[in-house]
Amino acid sequence: MEPASKVDQTVARTFRAIVQYDGTAYNGFQRQRHGVPSIQAELEDALARLADRPIRVLGAGRTDTGVHALGQVISFTIEWPGKHGPGALQRALNANLPPDIAVVELVEAEPGFHPRFDARRRCYEYYILNVPVRRPLLRWRAWHVARTLDVDRMNEAAKLLIGVHDFATFGRAPVGDNTVREVHSAIWRREDEMVIFRICANAFLQRMVRSVVGSLKMVGTGGWSKDDFADAIVSCERKRSGTAAPAHGLYLVSVEYNN
């Protein structure tokens, strides 16, 4: 008898995927104790149903409770028949995921790929709905700030974030890590009723984007001067940050790699 051709063999293969989710119903990306809903648990449970065994999912960023993603990157290793391409796996996975999570891209990964350690740049966007009256259809999609924001002032202050700085004012580092990060870009733009912040960095501290947005909102309403913001940065004191902006305006939009 001939051996099965390579294409029929079921071997363990590593995949890399882009995942979008509505974070409203989840306690963040990271799997927690049993019964607490998380994106990672949903992904791992869907994969376990397909593979009939536990599958571990790695993610690029640990988004907080209520934070959304348009471009979260994950990887996982699964025994998947060679004759079934990544497209079939993506469809099977989406059919097993709840409607508020979807795999929008899936490819076979290079050996050893790690979505967190290999990422060289992450970009987040924060949406502020800047109109006097709330918009019901956007209530889980943007932070409603009724007072008109001065986007030019906010951009002047945001420039101070760019470069390598200790961002201890705005967030905590994971255990064993420091609070220095490199911010590549940080810019506000107005689009109709929205004021949108886009910030890219090599990595972010926990709560960093929301604390930065909460502080820059103070600048935008006139409560803080640009110097107040500068002083807050250099203080490296958590209590000097403005109140963190709510999670439901924050989106992990992309994670970039060298390969």
The catalytic residue positions are 64
Query: In terms of DSSP H, where are the helices of the chain?
Result: 39-51, 86-96, 151-158, 208-221, 226-235
Question: Least separation, in Å, of the C-beta of 143 and its own copies?
Answer: 13
Stretch that binds its own copies, among 1-9, 49-57, 94-102, 172-180 (CB under 8 A): 94-102
| Cβ nearer to its own copies, comparing 12 with 133 | 133
C-alpha to C-alpha distances, 165 to 113, 169, 186, 247, 258, nearest whole angstrom? 28, 11, 14, 24, 23
- Cβ pair 97, 106 in contact under 8 A: no
- Asked whether position 64 contacts its own copies by CB under 8 A, the answer is no
Q: How far is the CB of 213 from its own copies (least distance, A)?
A: 19
- State which residue, 193 or 231, has the beta carbon closest to its own copies: 193
Regarding 20 and contact with its own copies (CB under 8 A), the answer is yes
Q: Is 137 in the site for its own copies (CB under 8 A)?
A: yes
Query: Binding segment for its own copies among 102-110, 113-121, 160-168, 169-177 (CB under 8 A)?
Result: 102-110
Residue from 70, 78, 236, 253 binding its own copies (CB under 8 A): 70
Return the beta strands (E) in 82-162 as ranges: 101-108, 121-129, 143-144
Which residues contact its own copies by CB under 8 A? 20-22, 68, 70, 90, 94, 99-104, 133-137, 139, 141
